[in-house]
């Protein structure tokens, strides 16, 4: 049994009820993002795959926080990592409009940084592995804002919410004596918002229908 979280005090499928149930946030995010695609606000290649990955993240993480085994941990980690790589690739290609080679180099660089970060599994309560992601997201969010893309603030907002969620993830063990449920569930709840904002930024960035959709409030 893997016991990395404050809420878990023993074995059992429901030993982390909040950490398990808060994964509904990803399923809701996937549903709302899917509706966005259905409304025709974009839909370039790969967007549906990203939405599918959001749902998979929710299911994988849900399994990890119930079964708490090594195989379930992989089901938790792999979709998250795939989402990061896919999003970076699509953003470089579709929004920044880099060549395929430059996009591949950016993804390879990110992959290397993530592998380096994985060498510090105990740092920051296990959150060190997300330092490349938060750094890249802040960069892309700034780019999105400064180049005045459609949905100008969405990516920067996503980056800021991710800062908050990463903080909740990091302090989970530290606050455990004061707050027995821990704070890991907030990481899930806020990340549903983050992933939706990321997909939204990508989808509307190139959408010529953006002005119409703004009137519809999306
Ligand atoms: Zn989790």
Q: How does pLDDT run across 70-95, given as a tens digit for each residue?
A: 999 999 999 999 999 999 999 999 99
How far away, in angstroms, is 158 Cα from ligand 1 center? 18
Give the residue carrying structure tokens 């380096």. 116
Distance 148 CA to ligand 1 centre (A): 34
Ligand 1 geometric centre to CA of 133 (Å): 16
Question: 53 CA distance to ligand 1 centroid (A)?
Answer: 15
pLDDT for the residue numbered 217: 47
CA–centroid distance, residue 65 to ligand 1 (Å) = 7
Over 90: is that where the pLDDT of 213 sits? no
The tokens describing 164, both together, are: 């908050």
Q: How far is the CA of 188 from the centre of ligand 1 (A)?
A: 6
Residue-level pLDDT at 45: 75
pTM check: above 0.75: yes
Determine the distance separating the centroid of ligand 1 and the alpha carbon of 211, expressed in angstroms. Answer: 37
Query: Inter-axis angle of helices 131-146 and 100-117, to 10 degrees?
Result: 140
Asked if 8 and 16 touch (Cβ cutoff 8 Å), the reply is yes
Ligand 1 centre from 136 Cα, in Å? Answer: 21
Q: Does the structure show a pLDDT above 80 at 211?
A: no
Q: pLDDT at position 42, please?
A: 55
Give, for 108, the enclosing helix (H) or strand (E). helix 100-117
Distance from the CA of 85 to the center of ligand 1, in angstroms?
Answer: 19
pLDDT digits (tens, 9 = 90+) for 136-160: 999 999 999 999 999 999 999 999 9
Alpha carbon dihedral 162, 38, 213, 144, in 10-degree steps, equals: 30
Give the model confidence (pLDDT) of 83-129 as tens digits.
Answer: 999 999 999 999 999 999 999 999 999 999 999 999 998 899 999 99
218 CA → ligand 1 middle, Å: 29
How far does residue 58's CA lie from ligand 1's centre (Å)?
Answer: 9
* C-alpha 126 – ligand 1 centre gap (Å): 11
């Amino acid at each position: 049994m893997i016991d990395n979280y404050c809420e878990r005090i023993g074995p059992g499928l429901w030993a982390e009820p909040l950490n398990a149930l808060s994964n509904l946030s990803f399923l809701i995010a996937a549903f709302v993002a899917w509706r966005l695609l259905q409304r025709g606000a974009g839909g370039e290649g790969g967007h549906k795959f990203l939405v599918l990955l959001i749902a998979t993240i929710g299911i994988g993480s849900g399994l990890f926080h119930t079964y708490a085994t090594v195989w379930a941990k992989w089901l938790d980690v792999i979709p998250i990592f795939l989402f990061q790589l896919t999003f970076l690739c699509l953003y470089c290609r579709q929004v920044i409009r880099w060549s395929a080679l430059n996009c591949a180099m950016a993804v390879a660089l990110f992959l290397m940084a993530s592998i380096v970060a994985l060498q510090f599994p105990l740092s920051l309560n296990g959150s060190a592995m997300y330092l490349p992601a938060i750094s890249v997201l802040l960069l892309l969010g700034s780019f999105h804002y400064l180049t005045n893309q459609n949905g100008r603030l969405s990516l920067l907002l996503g980056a800021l919410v991710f800062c908050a969620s990463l903080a909740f993830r990091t302090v989970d063990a530290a606050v455990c004596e004061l707050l027995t449920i821990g704070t890991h569930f907030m990481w899930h709840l806020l990340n549903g918002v983050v992933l939706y904002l990321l997909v939204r930024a990508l989808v509307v960035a190139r959408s010529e229908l953006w002005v119409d959709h703004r009137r519809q409030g999306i």
